[in-house]
Structure 1
Amino acid sequence: MTEVATSASSDQLLVVIDPVARRMDGESVRIAKDVLSAGAPGTKVCLPADAEEFARVLARRGSRRPVVVGDDRALLRAVSLLHRQRELAGCVLSVVPVGGVLTVARSLGVPMGAVAAARAVLDGAERRLDLLVDDSDGVVLGALRIPPLAPRGDPQDAGRPWLRTCQSLVRTLVPARPLRPAQPSPVAGPTRLRVEVDGEILVDLDQPVEAVSVTPGGSGAAAVEVRPVSVGAEASPLLARGRRVTVSGADFRYRADSGVWGPVRRRTWTVWEGALGLVLPTSI
């Protein structure tokens, strides 16, 4: 991660407020808007109603520095749009995290409070961060993980707690039926995958694995960790670093930036060194 000595306080800002943030925490949105407008005269505030308008506003930013007020999904949307337009290298982003999913923003070093985050937008410095870009031009800001293979028919409920809540409510409203013998709950099983790092096989299909993680580690390389299935004593993780990571094998899903993606049978991620310019506090 490289710090670029730039003064942020004199920039003309384009504050793009995500509609989800407005609905979830209007008070934090108001505070952030007030701090930014007071600290950077001439700030333009936009309130897009949906993702399409969000994209149009960002595309028409001109020379203004975009500030995203929203959660991880809003930040990822902005980065993905700029990447697809091949404008990310020439754009410096800022973010004020507001919403329910803030794991990625926190991991990148963005302050969590509305006032502190807005002050960092005004007084912070640009840092160049590595990104993972996959072979379908998708962007990953933080770490990605491939969990154990879910049983067939499992709709990945683990990532959607609201679904379990709805199912529980339905069960309370439906008349009780005669009890049946209890069936064993399906258990996620190991995954058989081939993991290649810069063309070298780290693990092959003959060795089942419990999990795989890929994390941008700075300096143009990703840290890769594969946890083999242990037999008896716990197996040591397999570690590697490289610029290009390919995972293939049985259909698998992966978690990245608070979302679940897939299923896919093959995916390659490449590290784009210093691809994202993000304004962060100078103390980081």
Structure 2
Amino acid sequence: MATHPTSDQLLVVIDPVARRTDGESVRIAKDVLSGGASTKVCLPDGPEEFARALARRGSRRPVVIGDDRTLLRAVSVLHRQRELAECALSVVPVGGVLTLVRSLGVPTGAVAAARAVLDGVERRLDLLVDDSDGVVLGALRIPPVSPRDGREAPVGATAVSAGAGHPWFRTCQSLVRTLVTRPPRATAVAGPGASRLRVEVDGVTVVDLDQPVEAVSVSPGDSGTAAVEVRPLSGPGAEISPVLAKGRTVTVSGADFRYRADAVVSGPVRTRTWRVVEGAWGLVLPVSAG
């Protein structure tokens, strides 16, 4: 359901990373917002000041200027303050990681996004809350997906960066590639560890520890359910269809595993449960997106 926000007074909280990386877009957004509403601008230097600004917003509608992490931080703060249900949140995307805000329907141009803050409608959206009180707005994936290229990173793998920019390092890499025959992907993933997981949806086991998996993804669906996809490990010459399920609670357990929830990689953990909270938060979007 979409409704028009009730307050024309705005609290504009600008992420410090956005100020450093694209000050011009920040300035444009501020000009558009101040031209259409009464605004109070906050320039927090860190997470504590960010949370304090939201806590002291009064009757003003919060508007955050930043990237996916900024939006996630704002929702997390309001959730911890138990004020998320009564709040219509807006975001003007500025920064390098904007996958989440795009998927939610937020315009990525500074002017269009600021106009949506002023003229848009509030849509109530589901989210996932885990058993450590963390929130997921878009999707979580096991193993985590690299934000650079979208590829799934093996759980427990560590990126090697020392010396990576030197010619001798690249030469060594090339030599190793010519001398070492890589095992098939199935063999590499099928070993012990996070690829052996138990996935339960509403208390029913959909994949158990005896079936190695390549990936698990969970995202808020609609009407209070989560969409779950489990990709079982395929052997050489064999394809196994993904296991699909929907439910209100999802529990993943097994050996230590990491997961990527929106823009944040968490873990390792041995078990984690996510539950869907229907209509938990409100995001102001353009009328066409509502």
| TM-score normalised to structure 2 length | 0.87
- Which string of whole-angstrom CA distances, capped at 9 and with x for unpartnered residues, describes residues 168-220 of structure 1? 125659xx9xx889456697514010000000000000011111110111110
Distance of aligned partners of 1:55 and 1:7 in 2 relative to their CA distance in 1, 3 Å threshold = closer
- The SS at the match of 2:48 is helix
Letter in 1 for 2:50: F
Per-residue Cα deviation, 1:198-248 (whole angstroms, up to 9, x for no partner) = 000000000111111101111100010111111333101111100000000
Equivalent of 2:113, from 95, 100, 117?
117
Determine if contact 1:146/1:212 at 8 Å carries over to the other structure. Answer: yes
Q: Tell me which amino acid in the other structure corresponds to 2:214.
A: E
Is the contact made by 1:149 and 1:189 (CA closer than 8 Å) also made in structure 2?
A: no
1:35 corresponds in structure 2 to 32
In structure 1, what is the equivalent of residue 189 of structure 2? 189
Map of 1:43-192 to 2, 5 A cutoff? Answer: 43-147=39-143, 150=154, 154-155=157-158, 157=159, 164=161, 167-169=163-165, 182=179, 189-190=189-190, 191-192=195-196
Q: What corresponds to 1:222 in structure 2? A: 226
Deviations 1:138-169 (A, max 9, x none): 011101111278365x22x3xxxxx64x5312
User: Unaligned stretches of 5+ in structure 2?
Assistant: 144-151
CA gap of 1:73–1:149, structure 2 versus 1, over 3 A, is closer
- Quote the offset at 1:11 in angstroms: 1.4
* Alignment match of 1:236 (pick from 241, 262, 268): 241
List structure 1 segments (4+ residues) > 2 angstroms apart after TM superposition: 147-152, 169-173, 179-188
Q: Which amino acid aligns with 1:117?
A: A
Aligned partners of 2:209 and 2:254 also within 8 Å:
yes
Deviation at 1:262, TM superposition (A): 0.9
Do the aligned partners of 2:5 and 2:88 also contact (CA within 8 Å) in 1? Answer: no
Query: Gaps spanning 5+ residues in structure 1: where?
Result: 158-162
Q: Match for 1:226: what amino acid?
A: V
Counterparts of residues 7-18 of structure 1 (less than 5 Å): 7=5, 11-18=8-15
State percent identity of aligned pairs. 73
| SS of alignment partner, residue 128 of structure 1 | strand
Q: C-alpha offsets along residues 99-158 of structure 1, whole Å, 9 cap, x if unaligned?
A: 011111111110010000000000000000000000000011101111278365x22x3x
More deviation in 132-141 or 46-55?
46-55
Over aligned residues, Cα RMSD in angstroms?
Answer: 2.3
2:261 maps to which residue?
256
Contact 1:141 1:257 in 2 (8 A): yes
TM superposition score normalised by structure 1:
0.88
For the 8 Å contact 1:149–1:252, the answer to whether it is kept is: no
User: CA 1:35–1:234 in structure 2 vs 1: closer, same or farther (change >3 Å)?
Assistant: same
Contact residue 151 and residue 189 of structure 1 kept, 8 A: no
Residue 273 of structure 1 aligns with which residue? 278
> 1:160 aligns to what?
none
Paired positions, count: 270
**Partner Cα separation in structure 2 for residue 151 and residue 56 of structure 1:** 35
| Structure 2 residue identity aligned to 1:204 | D
The code of the aligned residue for 1:12 comes to: Q
